[in-house]
Amino acid sequence: MHLTKIPLTLWQHEAFQKAQIEVYLARLDLIHADFGGNKYFKLKHNIAEMRRQGKDTLVTFGGAYSNHIWATAALGRQEGFKTIGYIRGEETYPLNPVLGQARAWGMALRYVDRTAYRDLKTGNLPCLPSEYVVPEGGSNAWAVQGCAEILSLIDLPAYQYVFTACGTGATLAGLLQSGLEKNYLGISVLKGGDFLKEDVKALSPTLPALAGTWDILTDYHFGGYAKSTPILKAFCADFTQKYFMLDEVYVGKMLYAIVDLAGKGFFKPQSTVLALITQRQL
Ligand SMILES: *Cc1c(COP(=O)(O)O)cnc(C)c1O
């Protein structure tokens, strides 16, 4: 797939007016109907590497609602390779929308319990020579290389801040490889996301030469991964009404953080903020 530019949406909010900032949303969700979002960037070089190795089956892992599983199945269908998804937990019918769609796109689903899942994740996966393994969330060095390309597809003359939601931190690590002098902020969607900083460092080969600053903010997890609160729900409902359907697990928390930070005087007046809409098209 050849990508030109990532569409931008200007997000208007009274908190931004007061703070004298402009906030643009980078619509990664709009790059493709089936595999929009950051997962495309995390997978593209993995797919190329799989082909270089002469393999035809991409094997990966995820929870039952994993966007990574969704994107892997969509790309397998589109680009003609086989996909196998190890799913944490028991098979339940009817399949939820993610697993139902993944199977409709041809992914072979294999259910494993938590212990077995952890075992597989740490590399104890029996593999055929035709199988290429991508870790959970797609997060490896190829993923970082793909995410390093995201900002080159943004057509915004000047912006000082870049925000993304962090699960594994690979997307943020990629952004840090862009070579652009920005303030990079990751919002942890996990409780106790302090370890994420170390993970990002480990994934970022050129971090010592970073042209800019970066941080991971850990106060916007709303109880932990896939947890929510009435405040977050109300925020997302309001946003959805004015703009587009919002993913509450990742993007909603990151956008909430931007509004909150604007109210706290976090941003330098007259600056421009770019927020990555990393979700798939909903
Ligand atoms: C997977 C995902 C992320 C997190 O990406 P990481 O590279 O794991 O930090 C952010 N937003 C959405 C919508 C995702 O699906």
Question: Is the CB of residue 162 less than 8 Å from the CB of residue 274?
Answer: yes
Residue type, 179: G
Whether residue 145 lies inside any domain: the answer is no
Q: What stretches of 90-221 adopt beta strand conformation (E)?
A: 108-112, 131-133, 161-166, 182-188, 212-217
Q: How far is CA 206 from CA 157, 178, 210, 249, in A?
A: 25, 10, 7, 29
* Domain shared by 215 and 181, yes or no: yes
For the segment 96-118, what is each residue's pLDDT rounded down to a tens digit? Answer: 999 999 999 999 999 999 998 98
* Domain shared by 256 and 172, yes or no: yes
* Domain shared by 67 and 83, yes or no: yes
Whether residue 3 lies inside any domain: the answer is no
* Domain shared by 45 and 24, yes or no: no
Q: Atom 4 of ligand 1 has which residue's CA nearest to it? A: 167
* Domain shared by 255 and 182, yes or no: yes
Tell how far the Cα of 191 is from the centroid of ligand 1, in angstroms.
15
* Domain shared by 53 and 28, yes or no: no
Whether residue 238 lies inside any domain: the answer is yes
Given the DSSP bridges, would you call strands 22-27 and 8-11 parallel, antiparallel or unpaired?
antiparallel
* Domain shared by 16 and 60, yes or no: no
Residue type, 77: R
* Domain shared by 167 and 271, yes or no: yes
CA dist 108 and 132 (Å) reads 14
DSSP code, position 237 = H
Q: What stretches of 153-206 adopt beta strand conformation (E)?
A: 161-166, 182-188
> 138, 162, 177: which is the final residue of a domain?
138
The enclosing domain of 48 has a CATH number of 3.40.50.1100
Residue type, 162: V
Structural domain harbouring 249: 8-34+150-276
Tell how far the Cα of 250 is from the centroid of ligand 1, in angstroms.
7
Pocket mutation for ligand 1, best pick of 42, 139, 217, 250 (most atoms within 8 Å of C-beta): 250
* Domain shared by 178 and 126, yes or no: no
| Cα 166–chain centre separation | 7
Whether residue 258 lies inside any domain: the answer is yes
Q: How far is CA 191 from CA 166, 220, 224, 225, in A?
A: 11, 9, 4, 7
Pocket mutation for ligand 1, best pick of 31, 35, 38 (most atoms within 8 Å of C-beta): 38
Residue type, 207: L
CA dist 70 and 58 (Å) reads 13
| Cα 258–chain centre separation | 17
Q: How many domains does the chain have?
A: 2
Pocket mutation for ligand 1, best pick of 196, 225, 278, 281 (most atoms within 8 Å of C-beta): 278
> 80, 114, 138: which is the final residue of a domain?
138
* Domain shared by 110 and 224, yes or no: no
Which residues, listed in sequence order, are joined to residue 25 by a DSSP beta bridge?
Answer: 9, 275
Whether residue 205 lies inside any domain: the answer is yes
Whether residue 282 lies inside any domain: the answer is no
Whether residue 143 lies inside any domain: the answer is no
Whether residue 164 lies inside any domain: the answer is yes
Q: What is the pTM of this model?
A: 0.96
* Domain shared by 196 and 263, yes or no: yes
For CA atoms 84, 89, 94, 100, give the dihedral sign. negative
* CB environment 250-261: b (16+ within 10 A), e (fewer): bbbbbbbbbbeb
Residue type, 133: V
Tell how far the Cα of 193 is from the centroid of ligand 1, in angstroms.
14
Atom of ligand 1 nearest to the CA of 279: 13
Digit-by-digit pLDDT tens for the chain (282 residues) are 777 899 999 999 999 999 999 999 999 999 999 999 999 999 999 999 999 999 999 999 999 999 999 999 999 999 999 999 999 999 999 999 999 999 999 999 999 999 989 888 887 787 899 999 999 888 999 999 999 999 999 999 999 999 999 999 999 999 999 989 999 999 999 998 899 999 999 999 888 788 899 999 999 999 999 999 999 999 999 999 999 999 999 999 999 999 999 999 999 999 999 999 999 999
* Domain shared by 91 and 176, yes or no: no
Q: What residues flank ligand 1, with Cβ below 6 Å? A: 37-38, 67, 137, 139, 165-171, 247, 250-251, 278-279
CA dist 49 and 262 (Å) reads 42
